[in-house]
Amino acid sequence: MLKVASQTYGMSAHDTMKIAEHLYLRGFITYPRTESTTYSANFNFNEILASHAHHPDWGYYAAALLRGEGFAKPKKGVDNGDHPPITPVKAADRD
């Protein structure tokens, strides 16, 4: 996350973590301080996608993934045993 935020948006690591912690504390993402890049074998992708399927901006994409259009489980990554990868768990509105 830190690398993408820096390379894509020019954000500092401090600012990125400040925003991530804000999102985490308000229930929008899972715990942001993790190095894990793989999901457990029983991770419920459909549950996460369903929570985004009616969003006015990206719901169409989540709904298509739920129908199996373009969905593929993420490639194997690294499980550091601390927390799962950062996952959006609640959809935000523009406000």
Tell me the catalytic residues.
31
List for the chain the helix, strand, coil content (%; round to 5): 35, 0, 60
CA distance 7 to 50: 30
CA distance 54 to 80: 33
CA distance 48 to 91: 10
- Tell me if 36 sits within 8 A of 79, measured CB to CB: yes
